[in-house]
Amino acid sequence: MTEVYENTLAWDVGEFGLIDRIRGVFPEIDLSDDCALICVPKSKGLLLTIDAGLRGTHFPEDSRFIRDAGWRTMAGAVSDINASGGKPSATLLALQIPRDFLLSDFDDFIRGVSEFSDWSKVPLVGGNITRGDRFSATVSVIGEVEKRVGRDSARIGDLVVLTGTVGGSEAGRLLALEEIATDSLDRNICERLIARFMRPSPPLCLGERLAKVGASAMIDISDGSLADVAHIAESSKLGISVEINSLPLHPDLARLSECVEIDPFEVAAISGEEFELVFTISPEDLGTAREIAEGFGTKITVIGDVKDGDGLEICRAGAPVRFDYLGWRHF
């Protein structure tokens, strides 16, 4: 890729100039046709998902974060395939470019996309570029699946289980947007939390394995820990009880809470865009799921259970509590 020209706008090089810059980062993509061929084994189903990232809404306006935004936008879309018990096969990227968008920001965003593609081993196979009022990136993902798991099939008596840790994304968002002052804080803690927010690492392929060993319902944490558990309860038409003191805290969130006045469990409860998995599973299958997760280098934590009833019950130290805000709402 040709390096950045100072203050050059993306519009200045035109559509095909931008395509050439993408080709410089992704030389393996055949951009001579409007369609890409994806081969899926006959024994498997096809999963399709689409997700949009809008600058200023889904990631910060600040150009310091534009490279991370490329990673983050891809991660959020690919995570949906994982949460359905599938394996992502390929992605498509559609970009909307405003007149004042810097060419340096375009290059950095594409580099972030490339870094996620390299990390995840999920290739980018094509896309589209158009002009518009704000910079946005829409990602389509194709995946394959043997046993799809939705959010509507939890069973009474199942345990509610969470992979990894939570709270780091919300803490990182507060730091990135300077809603928490960083002057007196440990720089390494701040950088790691902001990275957790801007460069999430979904436990790819773990969803596929969990589906095979008995996960009955599953979702990734995108809207928020409580909000997404509530989605399972609503879709399954059952009740779910969650103990927020059982939420596995991101270690740097715990350290941050020692320095600023935040309740780490409340932060973890509403933290979105973690892209960890929440799933329901029978107590008999929990041990197998734990072994599989450990094989992926992560831990799982029981945070609640499924029961007869309706909706989400939130408890703290066994006592019911109320949250006015469960997580992200698009409207």
DSSP one-letter string for 202-267: --TTHHHHHHHTT--EEEE-SS-HHHHHHHHHHHHTSEEEEEGGGS-B-HHHHHHHTTSS--HHHH
| List of domains in the chain | 10-145 (3.30.1330.10), 159-320 (3.90.650.10)
Residue 213: count of CB within 10 angstroms of its CB: 14
Whole-angstrom Cα distance, residue 65 to residue 84? 29
pTM above 0.85, yes or no: yes
Whole-angstrom Cα distance, residue 293 to residue 275? 15
Predicted pLDDT at 95? 97
Rg of the chain, C-alpha, whole Å: 20
pLDDT values of the chain reduced to their tens digit, one per residue, 331 residues: 556 566 799 988 888 899 889 989 998 887 777 788 888 788 789 999 999 999 988 888 888 999 999 999 999 999 999 999 999 999 999 999 999 999 999 999 999 999 999 999 999 999 999 999 999 999 999 999 999 999 999 999 999 999 999 999 999 999 998 899 888 899 999 999 999 999 999 999 999 999 999 999 999 999 999 999 999 999 999 999 999 999 999 999 999 999 999 999 999 999 999 999 999 999 999 999 999 999 999 999 999 999 999 999 999 999 999 988 777 665 4
